[in-house]
Structure 1
Amino acid sequence: MTVPRQAVHVDSPTERRNPRTTDIDQLTTLEILRAINAEDRLVPDAVAAALPALSTAVDLAVESLRGGHRVHYVGAGTSGRLAMLDAAELPPTYNVPSDWFVVHHAGGATALRSAVENAEDDDEAGASDLAREAERGDFVLGLTASGRTPYVLGALRAAHRLGARTALMVNNPLSTRSIDVDVMITVDTGAEAIAGSTRMKAGTAQKQVLTAFSTAVMIKLGRTYSNLMVSVRANNAKLRGRTVRILREATGLGQQECSDALTKARGDLKVALVHLLSGVDTRRAAAALTDTNGHVRRALATLSAKAV
């Protein structure tokens, strides 16, 4: 096992003692919670400062997925678990293929539930995992609070050699100087309420970044219309009820009309939506969606242009 040069002697702010919480063990229960909450309230501003870089990462991921490639998340410990949570929620929420987002977690599936000794220190394992599953054209997002996790950095180097585009999200601004990635997303959350406990502010920041990242990717790929989840397919009674409600929200039409449209569209909410909003039959609505890669607004604009 080799340790990359980026992983050595990096003083991470997350490891330092927080001067605002040195007496936290002497506080009342409510005061403890207020102290933790005060630190948590610093996270959104730290994430906001990183949005320009995150925007670039989103566009690279969209480009990869549109080209028939995949997005990979790489993490260890809390970072890997948060990445797994984010990826797991995308297929049921946006009806995307389960292999669009692939998670590589140091130590594998076992480490999702309990710590695997030295797994995050193995840069060769990270490189091997990516070399086995990634390819040119993919997008790889690494997550590490310290910016020095060998497993993550090894994976990113391997991804770069394969010709994938890469990004790294860190909570340590001091770690960014020697890491070669296409996009560096630095979210400086500072010292934790409990020194070194990066499941706190650093983890909260990573959750916010991942949720914003994947949601923005889904929006850019046309998996929503306005702020509605229109990629849901009505394959059971519960989802049929949800899709009818979404159609009513999007069109302003009544229950029966939306239900009938969904039946005509064979349960495809997007086809029903384009049919109702444009007035064309479901066959033409489906064709317009196919021509625009499933993007409702673009399908509507195409139909509108043809009608002129």
Structure 2
Amino acid sequence: MNLGSLVSETRNPQTMDLDALSTLELVNRFNQQDTLVALAVKETLPEVAKAVDAAAQALKAGGRIIYMGAGTSGRLGVLDASECPPTFGVPHGLVVGLIAGGPGALLKAVEGAEDNKQLGEDDLKGLNLNANDLVVGLAASGRTPYVIGGLEYANQTGCTTVAISCNPGSPIAQVAHIAISPVVGPEALTGSTRLKSGTAQKLVLNMISTGAMVKFGKVYQNLMVDMQATNVKLVDRACRMVMEATGASREEAEAVLKQTDHDVKPAILMILSGLDAAAARARLAEHNGFLRAALEN
């Protein structure tokens, strides 16, 4: 592949004079380029929706969401995965982020790791990959061997696979079942895909993980009702969520949350249905943790 022909590697005619601009002009130029990102992602929403449904199906089948990438792409996957347990109350390991070269590559580049197809396969084998898992490969260029190797192995294992890249018709797009390719255009700084490409990937990951968790029963209305209240700020947020969902006073919300160990879902159900804590938890279990279903049935 001629890497210089990739959209993400070409020069941007709108930013040829970065080194001659004032500071305000410089940041304005970056901001102008950033406005293109959300529009590029918008063009891929049908594919993003397919990925959300596939992610939710994986979770409901007892599988995992596994992100894999190198460099910035890998770091973004690890970031999104690490936010899921505190935000949605899911166990660590349900959403996994793999980066070429291992955890050390989060802070310092591991030379050659991204060029090793076998390493991608081996990292997935290390997770005991199974057909219920969803594997999401991230590569701005769309040609990273580590990601291609992982996606090919995931396909052989029977997994649904997703590719997120910023070059249309890329090799990883051709390997995966679902291809998401927001074309953000040349970077403001030539080839620096941590800029627009990284932003686009982050926006897509936000939608995949959050959308999947909505469909997995982790959200009521627009409230993160399975959030783990592990600090003062989050204890207060839990109280406010109960108040907003039920109309209860702060005093009532705090009293009920004490009975549920600050678990928001049963607290809301207790106030709105009159159930005690044990019965509320049982009702939620009957409806697979979906609070709306527990309230309506």
Q: Identify the TM-score tier after normalising by the shorter chain.
A: over 0.9
Q: Does structure 1 residue 218 correspond to structure 2 residue 213?
A: yes
Shift of 1:87: 0.8
- Deviation string for 1:108-166 (max 9, x for gaps)? 11111011111111111111111232111100001001110000010000111111110
Q: Give the one of 122, 126, 135 matched to 2:116.
A: 122
Q: Given the alignment, which residue of 263, 270, 275 partners 1:268?
A: 263
- 2:274: which partner in 1? 279
Do residues 81 (structure 1) and 47 (structure 2) align?
Answer: no
Gaps of 5+ in 1: 1-7, 303-308
Change (3 A) 1:278 1:296: same
Q: Name 1:9's counterpart in structure 2.
A: 2
> 2:217–2:291: 8 Å Cα contact kept in structure 1?
yes
Does residue 1:203 correspond to 2:235, yes or no?
no
| Structure 1 pair 26–186 and aligned structure 2 pair: CA distance change class (3 A) | same
Of the three residues 152, 157, 176, the one matched with 1:181 is 176
Is contact 1:131-1:162 (8 Å) kept?
no
In structure 2, give the amino acid aligned to 1:296. L
SS of structure 1 residue aligned to 2:262? coil
CA contact (8 A) 1:235 1:267 kept: no
Offset of residue 91 of structure 1? 0.8
Partner residue, 2:296: 301
Matched, 1:172 2:178: no
Residue 59 of structure 1, aligned match among 33, 53, 56: 53
SS at match of 2:175: coil
Aligned positions, number? 295
- Structure 2 distance, partners of 1:237, 1:203, is 32
**Does structure 1 residue 90 correspond to structure 2 residue 84?**
yes
Which residue of 237, 240, 246 maps to 1:245?
A: 240
Q: Check conservation: 2:10, 2:186, Cα contact below 8 A.
A: yes
- Tell me the distance in 1 between the aligned counterparts of 2:69 and 2:194: 13
RMSD: 1.6
Q: Deviations over 1:216-266 (max 9, x none)?
A: 111111111111111124466554333212111111110121122222334
Identity of aligned residues (%): 45
Q: Does 1:46 align with 2:40?
A: yes
TM-score by length of 2: 0.95
Structure 2: how far apart are the matches of 1:61 and 1:140? 9
Query: What is the SS of the residue equivalent to 1:41?
Result: helix
What secondary structure does 1:210 align onto?
helix
Distance 1:29 1:269 in 2: 47
Q: Which runs of 5+ in 2 are unaligned?
A: none
Aligned mates of 2:258, 2:33 — CA distance in 1: 50
Tell me if structure 1 keeps the 8 A contact 2:136–2:161: yes
How far does the alpha carbon of each residue in 1:58-81 deviate from its partner, in whole angstroms, 9 at most, with x for none? 111111111111110010000001
The letter of the residue matching 1:114 is K
Q: Work out whether 1:24 is the aligned partner of 2:18.
A: yes
